Amino acid sequence: MKRDFLYEGKAKRVYTSAQPGLLVVEYKDDATAFDGAKRGTIESKGIVNNRISALLFQYLEAEGVATHFERLIDERHMLVKQVEIVPVEVVVRNTVAGSLSQRLGLEEGTPLPGAVVEFYYKNDELHDPMVNEDHIRVLNLATPEELEVMKETALRVNRLLVPLFARAGIDIIDFKLEFGRYQGRIILADEISPDTCRLWDSNTGVKLDKDRFRRDLGGEPEAYQEVLRRLEGVI
């Protein structure tokens, strides 16, 4: 299926395909943290994240959320719609963790009274700074209408994923979404995986996501595989 190489990101490679308007995404085992200051690999991460993302995209599509996902090709590759990525990452937080704890001085693990939505400018040179709606307007990153769709979709995804993960015995603490422009509308793109979500075991609080790599906790392959195993049991 792969044709011409287009670009490589921290976790994926993207290629053209034999079908116009569709791209092939290859999921890598590479792991990075702290703006690339920490690098390593997580065994079989690409395989697991490819499968988890496919499961979640299919679940969301069935619930009426438009995504770029077309189909799995093999264990490391998926076929997706070619979109123009909006350079604004949308983060939804349900529980205090990571940078939110540092910025607000709240204890990690504190439940939030409602979902908190944050926007980040997708720019490696600037280290993906947090931005607000006015910044996004000034930088012409997205129209107000596009941003509203992104925010509403992110909150809807949250409402769908929280109970889904709960059935798998996992609390979805926070997650990052990316969106793309496709045929005049905004659709969900990129991936949804332990790389882009904070996932804690509902009973023990054990971290099942990339924080294990960030914080040198070890056991990353087993944690990722556990998330896949549990999701396969409920989807």
**From the candidate CATH numbers 3.30.70.120, 3.30.470.20, 3.90.480.20, 2.40.50.100, the one assigned to the domain spanning 84-217:** 3.30.470.20
Q: Report the amino acid identity of residue 207.
A: K
What span, in angstroms and rounded, lies between the C-alpha atoms of 115 and 111? 10
Using the predicted structure, report yes or no on whether residue 233 has a pLDDT greater than 90: yes
What is the location of CATH 3.30.200.20 in the chain?
A: 2-81
Considering only CA atoms, which of 132, 40, 124, 122 is closest in space to residue 84? 122
- How much is the pTM? 0.96
35 vs 205, more confident? 205
| Cα distance between residue 230 and residue 234, in whole Å | 7
What pLDDT does residue 50 have? Answer: 98
Average pLDDT of the residues of the chain: 97
Sign (positive/negative) of CA torsion 78, 83, 84, 89?
A: negative
Interval 131-166: pLDDT, tens: 999 999 999 999 999 999 999 999 999 999 999 999
Residue 1 has pLDDT above 80, yes or no: no
Confidence band (pLDDT; 50, 70, 90) for 226? very high
What pLDDT score does 54 carry? Answer: 98
b/e burial code for range 58-92 (CB count within 10 A of at least 16 → b): ebbeeeebebbbbebbeebbbbbbbbeebebbbbb
Q: Give the model's confidence band at 2: pLDDT under 50 very low, under 70 low, under 90 confident, else very high.
A: confident
Q: What are the pLDDT digits (tens) for 3-12? A: 999 999 999 9
Range(s) of the chain covered by CATH 3.30.470.20? 84-217
pLDDT higher than 90, residue 112: yes
| pLDDT for 35 | 80
Residue 99 has pLDDT above 80, yes or no: yes
pLDDT of 227 higher than 90: yes
Quick one: 114 exposed, middle or buried, by C-beta within 10 A (0-12, 13-18, 19+)?
exposed
pLDDT for 92: 98
- Options 3.30.56.10, 3.90.226.10, 3.30.160.270, 3.30.200.20; CATH of 2-81: 3.30.200.20
